[in-house]
Amino acid sequence: MPADDRSNKSPLLPLFAPIEPYQSGHLDLDAPHRMYYEQSGNPRGVPVVFLHGGPGAGASAVHRQFFDPAFYRIVVFDQRGAGRSTPLGCLENNTTPALVSDIEKLRETLGIEKWFVFGGSWGSTLALAYAEHHPQRCLGLILRGIFLCRKSEIDWFLYGIKTLFPEAWRAFAGPIPEAERGDLLTAYYKRLTDADPKVSVPAAKAWSTYEASCSTLLPNPGLVADFGSERIAFGLSRIEAHYFMHDIFLPENFLLDNVSRIAKIPATIVQGRYDIVCPVFSADDLHRAWPEAGYEIVADAGHSAFEPGIRSRLVAATEKFKAFA
């Protein structure tokens, strides 16, 4: 059974203080992609790699702060087509197997034998895919807001969320003509990949704002504004729709079917009880298939990694995992 924190008596752990990278650069991948990466913390510390969400959201400076910089060698990167990687929003050669290969190329480039893998939302999806392909490279997994990218989860994102966020869903579906709303994914994909920015940019902002509006237990206007900016919205929406259209380029139920490959790897799953973007049923399915993993449900949290309870549990996990180094 999961540890479902209903008491809220435990003190909340803060993030670590902001830090700057000691090294950053771009790694050439298959054309046309170049991947941004950075290292911070202790150059001789235990390696940990941060996998951002989306797909396509990109990483930011605050993501370094989940880790003790005196202990960890913190590797953060932007997945192909996202953030500071170029070209932004590029869908060419952009698949889950390619992202898994990119992580391995980065590990080899940095001379790292094994590392901890930390990922939330789509980052949990990619962490599972990477670990199932390369279990021998993983010291442990810290996963948050589980997303297995099954058809039922994609349908929930596109339609199910309206049962709890009807006003956000109306704003999402509203730009699409009523005749096309029976297949919102195809309708949005057509617009997001349109060469005319007057078509693609408004669609990108509508998609990204919808996701942000449903990501926290309580309204967070700052998050919504950030996701609604063209800088984030373009990469996030295009790449998410691309991956959803292609079932993340993996066989249906691949991640659950292959969880036995990672059963012996130390792992913690942190899930918000009221996560509407990636509902708790996916984390529950994963834990039932993988009972060896620790499983903590945060009773008063939604989806975002920066919900106070989730943030605290993630920091606690990175502290706990020092023992597995």
Catalytic residue, chosen from 85, 121, 213, 215, is: 121
Which residue out of 282, 303, 304, 312 is catalytically annotated?
303
Catalytic residue of the set 68, 78, 102, 275: 275
Q: Is 3 exposed, middle or buried (0-12, 13-18, 19+ CB in 10 A)?
A: exposed
- Asked if 114 contacts 120 with a C-beta cutoff of 8 angstroms, the reply is no
**How far is C-alpha 227 from the chain's CA centre?**
14
Is 303 among the residues known to form the active site? Answer: yes
Please give the radius of gyration of the chain, using alpha carbons only, rounded to the nearest integer.
19
Element (H, E) at 115: strand 115-120
Active-site residue, 121 included: yes
Q: How many CA atoms lie within 13 A of 74 on its CB side?
A: 26
Cα–Cα dist 143/318, whole Å: 11
Spatial distance between the Cα atoms of 7 and 271, rounded to a whole number of angstroms: 16
Q: Is 275 a catalytic residue?
A: yes
Supply the residues annotated as catalytic. 121, 275, 303
